[in-house]
Amino acid sequence: MNWLLKGGRVVDPAARLDAVRDVLVRDGKIVRVGESIPADNSRVLDLKGKVVAPGFIDMHVHLREPGREDEETMESGGAAAAAGGFTSIAVMPNTDPWNDSQSVTEYIVSQARSRCPVNVYPIGCVSKQGKGEELAEIGDMVKSGIVAISDDGHPVASAHLMRMALEYTRIFGIPVIDHCEERSLSCGGVMHEGFHSTLLGLKGAPAASEEILVARDLILAEMTGGRIHIAHLSTRRSLEKVREAKARGIAVTCEVTPHHFSLTDAAVAESHYDTNTKMNPPLREESDRQAMLQGLADGTVDAIASDHAPHNRIEKEMEFDQAPFGILGLETSVSLALDRLFHAGLLDLTRLVGLYTTSPARILGLERGTLAAGVPADITVLDLEKSVSVDQGGFRSKSRNAPYQGWKLRGAPVLTMVGGRIAFDGRS
């Protein structure tokens, strides 16, 4: 199918373009972006009043397949991604079995190609089974398609192993995605350590448990020349360390989640121990949230990533300290960013689109995140004024664990095109 996307406001940070243009798509690829392009034999999509952007990329997603298909599958996670405006997702390796070998990577790639409506980029393990003891089969996994390594869900506890990972990945030019948590300090904490954890009688994880590993791994990145990406950064001091490291030329990038820029640890108390406010790293204090907003505005933060972590209802309906960490994010991320960052006046549209496109594509080495001629026609269309009322019951995901039920948000993705094929159309 050939398409002419007509009259939308095209925002492409890679091309420094923000103007009303037409976008011509043929045979699954972008052919041209310009003014008054004739339709010829193309099917026309009238997008006047909408924003046409490169396909959004979520670089931090847990799909749960293989192993926990009761929580998420290629089909359900892909549908959630498409409805959330994402054309590409990078999936973490803490599946069952862990993605620590060529065979598991090849399984994920093959299943994604045949069953998932969006592009899936696997992330391999740093260590075998994520145990932090021995490097995984990184070279073989790279040959099969991984775009990064991470033991996400677990920190790489050994500085020696992290050093080896950073040195080894230089050969392949891929980043190490770092879950920063010093577990001898977080020590079973189930929320941020502070006023609210004391009030609620819940064991807290101090901000320093994240900051210690951020500091360690920035030192190791500087020593090795390896490339490190700090996942779900959540504290003010972690952000300061990344900002300082960037100024010194260390190869570091970082991401922030929508829940860390939109919620604080007060939400745990206000929700009366709702386990949908339990995530790792935990929701922090207001000063930390403000720091995330500042980092998003001043360019220190490179990407917004959902850390989409589905859990089934039975597992989440447990006592707070027994429930698993994590919440959904694919279907709320973009609307939260539009409402809380763009409409709040903190980010302009070019910066916001870049956080979902140009930056994650650069970090992961993907030839996407732009509307340049010749690239696959991955496109996200936004309605900046669409009113959204979050309804967990309507999620495409197989799980329902999210803390935003009933939130009113302004702005939403309304159409997602993947390789020239419409994967989601919510314009009506």
The H or E element that residue 388 is part of is strand 379-389
Q: Is 307 a catalytic residue?
A: yes
State both tokens at 397.
């995901």
Question: Burial, 426: exposed, middle or buried (Cβ in 10 Å; 0-12, 13-18, 19+)?
Answer: middle
User: Would you state the structure tokens that stand for residue 295, as one six-digit string?
Assistant: 């980092």
In this structure, which amino acid lies at residue 109?
Answer: V
Pair of tokens at residue 284: 């922090």
Q: Which of 58, 152, 265, 307 is catalytic?
A: 307
Which residues have C-beta within 8 Å of that of residue 85, sequence separation ≥ 6? 56, 333, 334, 356, 380, 382, 412, 413, 416, 424
Task: Say if residues 257 and 329 touch (Cβ distance below 8 Å).
Answer: yes
Contact criterion met (CB below 8 Å) for 165 and 148:
no
Q: How many CB atoms lie within 10 A of CB 292?
A: 24
Q: What contacts 413, CB < 8 A, 6 or more positions away?
A: 56, 83, 84, 85, 334, 335, 380, 381, 382, 383, 424, 426
Question: Can you say whether the dihedral through the CA atoms of 358, 417, 411, 120 is positive or negative?
Answer: negative
Separation of alpha carbons 5 and 377, rounded Å: 11
| Ramachandran category for residue 170: left, alpha or beta (phi over 0 → left; psi -120 to 50 → alpha) | alpha
Give the catalytic positions in this structure.
307
